[in-house]
Structure 1
Amino acid sequence: GHVEVKLSDDVTDDQAGAEQTGQPGDSPSYRPRPRQEYRRICYLALGALFIFVIGTRSSLFSFRILGDTWHVLLHGFVLMTKFVEFLHFRLKKAKQPFDVKISCLQFQYDQTAGSDGDVILANNVFNNFKIWEMNPWTDVHYVQLQKPDRYPNRVLMDQVVVGQPKAYLAYSATGKVQGTAVYGNYGRKEDLEILTNLNIELNGTVILLRASGQISLAQQVANVAEMGVSAVLIYPDPDDYKFDRNTELYGHVHLGSGDPYTPGFPSFNHTQFPPTESSGLPTVLAQSITAATAAQIMKAMGGANVPSSFRGGLDDVTYRIGGAGVNVTVEVNNVLQNTEIHNVFGVIKGFVEPDHYVVLGAQRDSWGPGFAKAMVGTTLLMELARSVYEMVEKDGFRPRRSMVFASWSAGEFGSVGATEWLEGYMSSLDRRAFTYISLDGVVTGHGAFKASASPLLVSLLATTMQEVKNPIGSDMSKSLYDKVSGANFEASVLEPMQMEDAAYPFLAFSGIPSISLRFVSRDVYPYYGTALDNIDHLGVTTNQRLDSLATAAGLVAGQMALRLVHDHVLSLDVRSYITPISQAVVKINKRLKQGRSAEGLSANWLIMARGSYIRATSDLNEDIQNTDLTDSLACHKINERIMRVEHNLLSPFVSPKDVPFRHVLFGHGSHTLDAMLEGTDKDVLRTQLALTTWTLQGCANALAGDIWELDNQI
């Protein structure tokens, strides 16, 4: 059920709720529901469908499905005990965690995107997919990656070189600028507001920022660029990063994903497209420096002492705002290189609906060793692929739908490989790829479990976590769900999906329900983008429990995927969008009633579109309960409606080229529901309101099904 939010005294659209009387298509399995029996229909748990047999030689378990005539429990069935034992065996078989005896995971060479090492890794992934009869294929893209030139980047203080870093921030503007040094803490909006209140002039300055896992490098640069700075220097402050002061930091500063020189379309061959650039490319110079270099500059800075919230951990430095005392020159000589990258895929085809598939993916490139960033995720990807292959090949598992396993390149440059694939096959993926599960960064700590997900996947995540043993702390008797959920599961576990999340372009660009998950510690993992992201440091941050944590992460991801490809009806909860839609509409309605700039505008149409969506979810659930779920045609029709939801929350009124993240709830741009809370132009707001209303109404119409079933009261 859900809690209805009354949006206004004069609009009661949500309570209208006229029942639909049409039938879902012409399926002979549809049976009108006796009204008195609404809550009496029950379904048997699929967990009862599996027999488990211990193999004498392999110590693996096998199962058989007893029949095809059982009903499906939509929520809460016990999933794939065999898979749990199988993956535990696979991941703990090796002498060391993740020594899975395939050379692609040895990481003995450079694995930056497009390098020889990256190609070797890709070939090894491909060969293993081939061994496992997964019909592997490679998707080749030619992308523009910014890399250091033979002329090094430099930082000078009063014409004296104080830094000549090897590390760099990809997609920085290039050139040479000079300005007075100022210090801006993390470069967050609230930090810059403090500087403004202190009457600190930022225009034309070189601003020093400390890196933070709470805000991306790209967002930091974008924030200060709006203030007119000429260059940005970002360093790892000892207060946030407990490592040697001379450690260098790599990253990218494109506020977006994919190749920024082919926004909205794929980088198959640059020659066939006109020159263009992403609006997310920075217009200012950006360079990372070491903490040691930052200390040299800050010691020479003048100005007032900083507020207490700005103080860092350089114990030999008095933190000052700057604006006087020293001029800093920044020289960035990065060059664009047209680089060939390879995404590698394997597929385990479904037996009933092979054209519908879950995608599990992990990036394999990294700036340094990339143990947490790439190696753990790639290892899990391979082990999940092998486990499911052996379940199908040896144990008789017959998934209804397909599972695609993807190894991405150029993830460190902003999910370039994955985004180019999405751009290249947008029409092919629509309502075929119905879920993406990201395995990037699944283990960086040992104290908590977090996830970022489409609302459609939250119920499935919670159910799956109840079936996975807790690897956190000493209490192994609890489920992962019981350990981390607290009083409120969503508040304890869920985090907003950020643009730098590898799952984000799947959700906000392509409209594919997506999820990323991770075990974390209280402090942010400090070694991303450095040469210190290795097995030793990850072992310390996980309290030497990397194997059990990674196994649990693999079980959550794997069991979610298996249920999605096994259930007759997709385990995507369309009701879950009622709350975020309602919350957004309540805010907009309040803003329109209180704001002078919105005088004469009403949210009534938007409220009615919300009501249409709520009724469409109720009609769908009723149709599910009234349908024989062993009827493949009936299930196909229902699943088609479910798969339309996420995609139809992409605004059809903006161009993917100009506004790539078109999702009205999780995207970026004037088309989003949040944008209507910020604008002041009445005419613009009126247009935003109309287009967003029709986007939401279109989503409700698609969920309702056939054209004669539509509930359009606008």
Structure 2
Amino acid sequence: MDRVRSWFNHVTASERYSRFRLQPVEDGESDIEVKLSDDAAEAERDAEGFPSFRPPPLYRDRRSIVYLVLGTLLIFFTGWLIGYVSHRGSHPRTGNCSAVDATAAATAAATATAAATAAATAAASGPEALPTFPPAAPEPELTWNDITRLLKQKLTGEAFDGSLSDFDLPSRLAGSQEDVRLANGILEEFRKLEMQPWTDNHYVQLQMPDREHPNRVAFAADAFEPAGYLAYSARGKVEGKLVYGNYGRQADLEVLQQNNVELNDSVLLLRAGTISFAEQVDNAARKRAAAVLIYPDVDDYKFDESTPLYGQVHLGSGDPYTPGFPSFNHTQFPPTQSSGLPKIPAQTITAAEAATLLQNIGGAEPDASSGFAGGLKSVIYRFGGVKNVTVEVNNVLVNTEIHNVFGVIKGFIDPDRYVVLGAQRDAWGRGYAKATVGSAVLVELAKAFRKMVEEDGFRPRRSLVFASWGAGEYGSVGATEWLEGYLSSIDRSVVSYVSLDGLVMGLGGFVASASPLLYGLLEATMKEIPSPFSSGSVYDMVGQTEYLRPMAMDDPSYPFLAFAGIPSISFHFITPNSEAYTYYGTNLDTKDHLDYKTNHRTSEMAAMAAQFAGNVALRLIHDHLLRLDVRHYGGELTVGVAKLYQRVRQLSQSGRLKGVDASWLSRARGEFMRAAADLDDARENTDLEDSEACRILNDRTMRIERTLLSPYVTPTETPFRHVLLGRGPHTLASIAANDDMDQVHTQLALATWTLQGCANSMVGNIWDVAVL
């Protein structure tokens, strides 16, 4: 070979010479890198094993041409001779073997001729012409059915048997040694999968009970020290009249006021359920109650009456002592706290302890139609307001290091656009349904997607990020701190967030909460995933029941949607026509209880939930155009604007609100609808093979959720800035309920321009805005 190369080097002449090498790139394809060499670097590059071509002296040109012609004739003659000998030496055989021999001879001759032709072409074209090779046969592209089939094959109940067992621990409190071991285990798993894992650490304030000074409740001759507690309660010792307030909803408290029950400085005893602990305490504080006690009534919670209850009462998410900014160790912000922290003490008690209080509460009985009656035995439910109760809360703040763990599978076309799948890792007790299932689904999905890329030729268009969150039980602390820390770099890159928390709570039913942009994708996925116990799909299983629910503040997806403006989705398989999975926040969230709710099909249901989440993510990383449908937002917006429009007209006609035209808001809604129609038209008429056009349209679509965040409120005071789905005085619903006319005037103007700004962002080019 050295002699052949030397001869070829003498034949080829040039003033400058090209060298090339094949390099693997991130998307797995070969990339030809062409570089012009110079004499100074020649020795170094030869040492690397690259071919080196040097110019022959000019007086050899004629001799080189003669050698080239002779070589060409020699190659041609050799090829002909081989073909002739092969043909002469063949013997007649049955079938088509003679034809094969003849074909082989012809092929050999054709090969020799092609080689001669290539050599002649190279000589005629000059020394800089590179040899041409027939293109390699392209790999067949995977269809959507191929991709979903591959994912389903890798997500089996058998795989989840082992994974669920690995993640099932007796304790997993945020920041504990068990939590750290789990985080390290997930990190190592991502490292084995070569997912370029990394961690995001924060130092947050978590509230814990004080072991030396336990919380206490005293009522007449009875006193007890509850085992459960509510994180982020106000500290202190208060005394007040004991009042029973059902679930503590606004409507329940209005019933008390209608029955002349004094709420000021009272201690409200409330049933858990219907709304979050934080909302119950906030409602009580607004009525000037002194403290709140919350218990699980047996009508709502079918477990032992001595079971303690745990939760948190921060009306927000993240570390409440670093609102709006991340709790990194190096940050030095002035002491502050979230406006969502309660100002009154709050404590959970058991059902048995609540029965002791209710048996001696006194006061009038509520009307049967009020729904105040619970299920505690030997108890007559009364309003109370007669006898005093003392509540003492001594919880302490503990500075705790928490860890978020990430892994990524990079996209091949738009790697800087990604879908995040996340699950919380911690829980108050075992947290089997709350955290074990979600963590197992997270890791099994990572394994499945990685194998599809490495072994099956799957090439996702966009990236997939897998996230294991810390301190989720304290109000999505880990996830929110990540959003606060990197919002400037992720809000324009994250396509969507898919929550993996609480995926499996039962068997036979399905509920979901999502951004309106994801309604269409949610329904399409329900029609693709088979029902767990029938021949139809999940969509068929649901039937006529309403599966969509408004996204609550304590939903793990809520900070992504209402704080960061990222389209998000949560879903849960449940048991229909039955009590909900009520073991969250207790030590009873175990494998046995979840197996009972799923008829011992937990592993199978976990695999199905993983397929559902995987299919949602697949659509978002696979399709040329993102499956984000703005048309569904039109309906949500119309409902919100209609209520506010009617309210503004009434206030204007009554003379209370002056100088305000209700049509301002209607015009902004009209601009939004026209921009949405224009965007839909552009999507329908876009060439899907034009990557740049698709990217531009996708970016326009991704801006919708983000531009519905009000730019006129501060995240430190009002973190959930979404004008439709957020919480605060800037939302359409809050403006409609406001009685302060100056605030209505101001907030209406700001909300109107927020909607107009969203419409403008959908148009795309600034010079097209005026066309609307």
Q: 2:559 aligns with which of 505, 511, 521?
A: 505
Q: 2:324 aligns with which of 247, 255, 264?
A: 264
Q: 1:493 aligns with which of 547, 558, 569?
A: 547
**Alignment check: 8 A CA contact 1:470 1:480 kept:** yes
Paired letter, 1:316:
S
Which secondary structure state, in structure 2, belongs to the residue aligned with residue 425 of structure 1?
helix
Matched, 1:147 2:188: no
Which secondary structure state, in structure 2, belongs to the residue aligned with residue 608 of structure 1?
helix
| Superposed displacement of residue 305, structure 1 | 2.1
1:34-66 CA distance string (max 9 Å, x none): xxxxxxxxxxxxxxxxxxxxxxxxxxxxxx973
Which secondary structure state, in structure 1, belongs to the residue aligned with residue 436 of structure 2?
helix
Matched, 1:443 2:504: yes
In 1, Cα distance between the equivalents of 2:261 and 2:682?
Answer: 62
CA pair 156-483 structure 1, distance change in 2 beyond 3 A? closer
- Give 1:521-532 correspondences, 5 Å limit: 521=575, 522=577, 523-532=579-588
CA pair 201-102 structure 1, distance change in 2 beyond 3 A? closer
Matched, 1:232 2:292: yes
Which secondary structure state, in structure 1, belongs to the residue aligned with residue 156 of structure 2?
helix
The equivalent residue for 2:629 is 573
The equivalent residue for 1:292 is 352
- Give 1:573-592 correspondences, 5 Å limit: 573-592=629-648
- Give 1:321-340 correspondences, 5 Å limit: 321-324=383-386, 326-340=387-401
The equivalent residue for 2:156 is 91
The equivalent residue for 2:617 is 561
Which secondary structure state, in structure 2, belongs to the residue aligned with residue 100 of structure 1?
helix
**Alignment check: 8 A CA contact 1:303 1:323 kept:** yes
Contiguous gaps of at least 5 residues in structure 1: 1-63, 71-76
Q: 1:645 aligns with which of 685, 694, 704?
A: 704
Matched, 1:482 2:540: yes
1:90-132 CA distance string (max 9 Å, x none): 43225xx5422784x1314x21111111100000010001111
The equivalent residue for 2:379 is 317
| Superposed displacement of residue 271, structure 1 | 5.5
In 1, Cα distance between the equivalents of 2:284 and 2:330?
Answer: 32
Looking at CA atoms only, which structure, 1 or 2, has the larger radius of gyration? 2
Matched, 1:362 2:419: no
In 2, Cα distance between the equivalents of 1:703 and 1:174?
Answer: 48
Q: 1:618 aligns with which of 671, 677, 691?
A: 677
Matched, 1:172 2:233: yes
| Superposed displacement of residue 202, structure 1 | 1.5
| Superposed displacement of residue 712, structure 1 | 6.4
**Alignment check: 8 A CA contact 1:98 1:376 kept:** no
Which secondary structure state, in structure 2, belongs to the residue aligned with residue 493 of structure 1?
coil
- Give 1:101-140 correspondences, 5 Å limit: 103=166, 105-108=167-170, 110-140=171-201
Q: 2:149 aligns with which of 70, 73, 82?
A: 82
In 1, Cα distance between the equivalents of 2:156 and 2:225?
Answer: 42
Matched, 1:386 2:438: no
> What percent identity do the matched residue pairs reach?
56
Q: 1:408 aligns with which of 460, 463, 469?
A: 469
In 2, Cα distance between the equivalents of 1:158 and 1:534?
Answer: 33
- Cα RMSD between the aligned structures? 1.8
Contiguous gaps of at least 5 residues in structure 2: 1-137
Normalized against structure 1, the TM-score is what? 0.85
Q: 1:535 aligns with which of 560, 581, 591?
A: 591
Which secondary structure state, in structure 2, belongs to the residue aligned with residue 177 of structure 1?
strand
Which secondary structure state, in structure 2, belongs to the residue aligned with residue 617 of structure 1?
helix
Matched, 1:457 2:518: yes
**Alignment check: 8 A CA contact 1:589 1:602 kept:** no
Q: 2:667 aligns with which of 594, 608, 614?
A: 608
CA pair 447-163 structure 1, distance change in 2 beyond 3 A? farther
In 2, Cα distance between the equivalents of 1:181 and 1:79?
Answer: 63
| Superposed displacement of residue 578, structure 1 | 1.0
1:414-454 CA distance string (max 9 Å, x none): 00000000000011112201100001111112232110000
Higher relative contact order (CA 8 A, sep 6+): 1
**Alignment check: 8 A CA contact 1:155 1:328 kept:** no
1:351-393 CA distance string (max 9 Å, x none): 1111100000000100001011111111111111110000001
The equivalent residue for 1:693 is 752
The equivalent residue for 1:61 is none
Q: 2:303 aligns with which of 239, 243, 247?
A: 243
Aligned residues: 628
Q: Which has the higher mean CA deviation after the structures are superposed, 692-701 or 608-617?
A: 608-617
| Superposed displacement of residue 180, structure 1 | 2.0
Question: Which one has the bigger helix percentage?
Answer: 2
Normalized against structure 2, the TM-score is what? 0.79
Matched, 1:547 2:547: no
Paired letter, 1:243:
F
Q: 1:100 aligns with which of 163, 170, 175?
A: 163
Q: Which has the higher mean CA deviation after the structures are superposed, 363-372 or 182-191?
A: 182-191
**Alignment check: 8 A CA contact 1:370 1:534 kept:** yes
- Give 1:640-679 correspondences, 5 Å limit: 640-679=699-738
Q: 1:421 aligns with which of 473, 482, 488?
A: 482
| Superposed displacement of residue 556, structure 1 | 1.4
| Superposed displacement of residue 161, structure 1 | 5.5
